[in-house]
């Protein structure tokens, strides 16, 4: 995760902080349901929730920034008929590292942690490929003559 641009700026223990804050918030909310909270505990709950949400938002922003690098990678590679996973892990891992700062092992870890929603990624890659082709056709270019299939995130579909 630290290889994602800007991640180190969040601090060494951001994930641990989020986990600890969420557990503390959960505990205080449980106590509030059972016996109620004193004014200082209510203030503490509010502060903990605020910090927890702030840290989660920071992580979300960094992951979104990383996600914006994926289309740049797709644009730079010439492998259109292969799945994006294959292009990242087998065909152009060095280009992926250059564009995103992540290795294939980092990518596998993100996949294992379910950072990528497969269905949404397939839709996003398909939309990108169609938009790219349409914009090139508009200028009078055909980027990949004879292309019969689009590689999506983890599957391949016929072009038309």
What's the confidence (pLDDT) of residue 63?
74
Q: Output the pTM of the full model.
A: 0.60
Q: 86 and 60: one domain?
A: no
* Residue 80 contacts residue 147 (beta carbons within 8 Å): yes
Give residue-wise pLDDT tens across range 108-156. Answer: 887 887 777 888 888 988 888 888 888 877 888 776 677 778 888 898 9
Q: 52 and 12: one domain?
A: yes
**85 — pLDDT class (breaks 50, 70, 90):** very high
Taking alpha carbons only, the member of 59, 54, 55, 53 closest to residue 6 is 59
Element (H, E) at 97: helix 93-100
Tell me, yes or no, whether 70 lies in a domain.
no
- Higher pLDDT: 83 or 20? It is 83
Block residue for tokens 């292309």: 147
Q: 122 and 144: one domain?
A: yes
Q: 91 and 137: one domain?
A: yes
Taking alpha carbons only, the member of 94, 155, 91, 107 closest to residue 129 is 155
Q: 41 and 93: one domain?
A: no
Of all residues in the chain, the percent with pLDDT exceeding 90 is 10
- Higher pLDDT: 26 or 104? It is 104
DSSP state of 49: H
């Amino acid at each position: 995760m630290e290889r994602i641009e800007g991640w180190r700026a969040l601090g060494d223990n951001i994930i641990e902080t989020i986990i600890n804050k969420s557990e503390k918030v959960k505990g205080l909310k449980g106590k509030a349901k059972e016996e109620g909270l004193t004014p200082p505990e209510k203030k503490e709950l509010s502060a903990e929730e605020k910090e927890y949400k702030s840290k989660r938002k920071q992580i979300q922003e960094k992951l979104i920034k990383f996600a914006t690098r994926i289309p740049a990678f797709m644009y730079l590679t010439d492998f259109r008929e292969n799945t994006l996973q294959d292009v990242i892990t087998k065909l152009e891992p060095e280009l992926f590292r250059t564009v995103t700062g992540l290795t294939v092992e980092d990518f596998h870890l993100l996949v294992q942690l379910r950072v990528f929603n497969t269905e949404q990624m397939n839709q996003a890659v398909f939309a990108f490929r169609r938009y790219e082709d349409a914009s090139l056709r508009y200028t009078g270019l055909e980027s990949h003559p004879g292309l019969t299939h689009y590689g999506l995130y983890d599957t391949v579909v016929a072009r038309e």
